[in-house]
Amino acid sequence: MPSEIFQNIESTAVPLPIENVDTDQIIPARFLKATTRDGFGENLFRDWRFDKNGLSKEGFVLNNLSYSGTILVGGKNFGSGSSREHAAWAIHDYGFKVVVSSFFADIFKNNALNNGLLPVQVSDSFLSTLFEAIEQDAATIIKVNLEEQTISIAASGASENFDINPYKKKCLLNGYDDIDYLLSIKEKIVHFEKSRT
Amino acid sequence: MAGKTLFDKIWDKHVVDEIKGGPSVLYIDRHLIHEVTSPQAFAGIESRGISLFRPENTVATPDHNVPTVDQHLSIKDELSRFQVNKLTENCEKHGVTLYGLNHPYHGIVHVIGPELGITQPGLTMVCGDSHTSTHGAFGSVAFGIGTSEVEMVLATQCILQPKPKKMRITVDGELAKGVTAKDVVLYIIAKISASGGTGYFIEYAGSVIRSLSMEGRMTVCNMSIESGARGGLIAPDQTTFDYVKGREFAPSGDDFDQAVERWKLLKSDDDAVFDKELHYDAADIEPMITYGTNPGMGAKIKDKIPAVEEIDPATRESYEKSLAYMGFDAGSPIAGRKVDYIFVGSCTNGRIEDLREVAQFVKGKRKAEHVTAWIVPGSKQVEEQAHEEGITEILEASGFKLRQPGCSACLAMNDDKVPEGMLAVATSNRNFEGRQGPGSRTMLASPLTAAAAAVTGIISDPRSLL
Ligand code: SF4
């Protein structure tokens, strides 16, 4: 089942300069009762976004109309906590294609990559530069080029390279899926099972 | 050539193939599933029109959503009931063994795996749940995965994984009375932070770790993920073999003896090289508790919450945000705060040994009037054992009540939610904002510390009451 093909991105960004954003904040446990992958975007950052009566909380960035776009820029250690893939689904479902941080939790990174959501890990200093640029001008355009593995600020030209596993890069650029790959080597797996007994 | 670490030995034996410049294809021996992270994986299998590759290697149980009272009745919450029923349906349709509600083997995935002997040394184990790291206590490579990966295991018994780096944490010395495995792991996380283990798989070693029971070792490995590490493991020894022996799915007779001979080889070579090594001394470890909103924000109960000046300027904003959520002042003492709730349970501390410890502590004492206490066994077997050993009676005589097994207030997906603003001392593993219910405030500690809080009604060092 091929997934979406990842295209280069040029977009404004939503800043969330908070450290240790954990998966319980991204999508609280009480919203994990669905049995399909859709609709989680509605409850993305639920308890930061809405009060207990369901009203928008003013100070939270997703409720600030000045900020929009398909890039979410988060603080250090983004996505820590539980393995719930619902966190990646919620961010993707809300409309983000890229999450930028100076540090990602391992499982979150895998989950994001398995869902066409690109985690871009940048240096602490580039992360500060990004936050400053967005803070100064919410219309700041950020460019993410997966082919060349670069992230840059359009206006200033400030740019940095990011790492990605070459296999995962190929998957994203071509819309390949890990399960299709594993199914294609089933004979090898059967052979492996036989060889170990 | 340098020797191999225990982790390398197990991992390398399970590599089916290597993708050039990419992850390894890792074979998975045992797969545990629960109701929350599996439905989308089964749906994926069905939409591909394929069947499960090795259904006999997957075991299921509903734990996250289940009520902890009246389990013989149908689940009241409609969405929870639907999700639990979906698991039953999927297991029936695809030939997966299920230990459903009221089954004698029902319980939290990470409690039932070890107690049924499904967890064994040298295996690879995964579950769509980050605390799968618990099973590493037996010397297995066990870690949490996402739902796409659950689907991979269902489809092929393999996942694609980059090999993590290796860290060894050695804790030597002897733990003082009243200092438990939970304090050891909270101490380690407070030292290395909630992200200090990211990218690593941890091996725990040293005389303190060796001296721990299997329950204690599970508590330590369980919280590996709280430092960001993918998992943690401990080389198996006689304590491990004795625990596994005689369990339902463990090898028996000659097979067991042969297995033990193989398991004895499972240790890091003397000349193995780790990417990182850390050493701690038991003499410095005391009863610990967290005061913030990530598990790395922990301190000794007798200490004060760090002053803002002690915090790295780059992280002060997050630090202050966290304390504001907790309603705590930087620089103030930790002990003496009034506690509203205590929760003893979860895959970290919901085992029989934990209940025994609590019972022993509260025997002859009374629960403080204003404290609501939830004591939740990790499994049906733990519940039964607590009844048999008279633990239930001791608890009741002191004003406590034993509930029925499940994840409960660890993540508050069922009705066990700590109300907004209330302060809870919990033996679980996460103190994130709202983890135990919207607006709830959580301090993580050992079962002993939770029991001490229940009895005194305030945060107290349990040693003063031993
Ligand atoms: S007890 Fe808590 S941490 Fe453990 S599996 Fe359940 S929800 Fe997860």
Does B424 map to a domain? yes
Does B404 map to a domain? yes
Give every strand in the sheet of B423-426, ordered side by side.
Answer: B372-375, B341-344, B423-426, B441-444
Asked if A163 reaches chain B (Cβ–Cβ under 8 Å), the answer is: no
Distance from CA of A4 to the nearest CA of B (A): 15
Asked if A86 and A32 count as a contact pair (C-beta separation under 8 A), the reply is yes
Minimum CA distance residue for ligand 1 atom 4: B347
The rounded average pLDDT for each run of 10 residues, N- to C-terminus, in chain A (197 residues) is 81 96 95 93 96 94 96 96 95 97 95 95 98 97 98 97 95 92 96 92
Domain end residue (candidates: B263, B278, B308): B263
Domain identity same for B110 and B252 = yes
Interface with chain A: mutation pick from B78, B318, B347, highest number of A CBs within 10 Å: B318
Does B27 map to a domain? yes
Does B448 map to a domain? yes
Does B56 map to a domain? yes
Number of domains comprising chain B: 2
Domain identity same for B441 and B295 = yes
Domain identity same for B20 and B67 = yes
Domain identity same for B55 and B115 = yes
Q: Which among A34, A105, A193 has the least Cβ separation from residue B198?
A: A105
First to last CA, chain B: 51
Instruction: Please judge whether B432 and A22 are an interchain contact, meaning their C-beta atoms are less than 8 angstroms apart.
Output: yes
**DSSP of B174-186:** -PPTT--HHHHHH
Domain identity same for B251 and B336 = no
Residues of B in contact with A189 (CB under 8 A): 16, 25, 27, 53, 156-158
Domain end residue (candidates: B212, B246, B263): B263
pLDDT of res. B319 = 95
Asked if A80 and A23 count as a contact pair (C-beta separation under 8 A), the reply is yes
pLDDT of res. B194 = 95
Could you tell me the residue range of the domain that residue B401 belongs to? 288-461
Nearest CA in chain A to B46: A1
Domain identity same for B247 and B366 = no
Instruction: Please judge whether A52 and B420 are an interchain contact, meaning their C-beta atoms are less than 8 angstroms apart.
Output: yes
Residues of chain B with pLDDT under 50: none
Domain identity same for B153 and B254 = yes
Cα distance between residue B152 and residue B157, in whole Å = 7
pLDDT of res. B21 = 79
Domain identity same for B298 and B256 = no
Interface predicted TM-score (ipTM) over 0.90: yes
Does B176 map to a domain? no
Domain identity same for B351 and B259 = no
* CATH value at residue B113: 3.30.499.10
Does B427 map to a domain? yes
Q: How many CB contacts within 8 angstroms connect chain A with chain B?
A: 181
Domain identity same for B317 and B402 = yes
Domain identity same for B254 and B373 = no
Does B179 map to a domain? no
Residues of B in contact with A196 (CB under 8 A): 13
pLDDT of res. B256 = 98
Domain identity same for B298 and B404 = yes
Task: Tell me the sheet residues that pair with B279.
Answer: B170
